[in-house]
Amino acid sequence: MFENVLSEDDVHSKIGPYYDDFWLAVVESFKAFNKVKNEYENLQIRTRCDLIRAKVLASFKRKFKANGDVKIFDFEDQDIFIIKIGDEILLRFKKLDESGKRANFNKTNASNSYIDQEEFTDFLPKLNQLILGWIPNATWTECADINICHPKENWAVKVPRPKTMRLAPSRSQNAQTDSYKNLPKLKIKTKLKKVE
């Protein structure tokens, strides 16, 4: 087993030039998903994650088509796609839970291999294998956060949102706000005394 260790500064310097494109691709994909979700007769056929993943994959392919340093590889049989940056970094695109950890409970052989930093046969050996993870808001209408994290969850780096993009509330903020909406309304009666 081989494991490279990158510092947060290394991650920002090597992947930082692509942060805005990551955000724009994911946000555009949520917009596209929201436009078409009502057109599907039976959304149970594919999960929300599958629909969003498909939109993000298409958006990433468009955004990075002309970029020679960034390559997108789709492993349809394993339902994953990989972003290769230069000859050093592989990013696996995944949904994260609200705490920023991997959201899948039943890990597949492909997941375990990636977590254990085993080599992909289609790529150069000893590439840093990281996760580019997205966190939806509570209503699944926007992306609340994007993180780059180590597959073994040793560390995570938040991908800064482009300055021109408004901030979507995080899942925990939405959940807290939504929980207040469900509380019964209290009527407080007070007697005012006239002050002379």
Looking at residue 24, its pLDDT comes to: 93
Q: Where are the domains of the chain?
A: 8-181
Q: Write out the chain's pLDDT in tens, 196 residues.
A: 556 678 889 999 999 999 999 999 999 999 888 877 666 644 544 577 888 888 999 999 999 998 889 999 888 777 788 899 988 888 988 888 887 777 655 566 666 666 666 656 555 566 788 899 999 888 888 999 999 988 877 788 899 998 888 765 555 554 443 433 433 333 334 344 444 4
Gap between the Cα atoms of 145 and 174, Å rounded: 13
Contact 154, 148 (CB under 8 A): no
- Residue 63 sits at the vertex; the CA angle it makes with 61 and 66, to the nearest 5 degrees, is 85
Supply the pLDDT for residue 41.
47
Helix, strand, coil percent content, the chain, rounded in steps of 5: 35, 20, 45
Give the model's pLDDT for residue 15. 93
pLDDT of 176 reads 41
Nearest CA to 151 out of 112, 104, 106, 191 is that of 112
Q: What residue has token string 């087993």?
A: 1
- Distance between first and last Cα of the chain: 83
Q: Can you give the pLDDT at residue 150?
A: 84
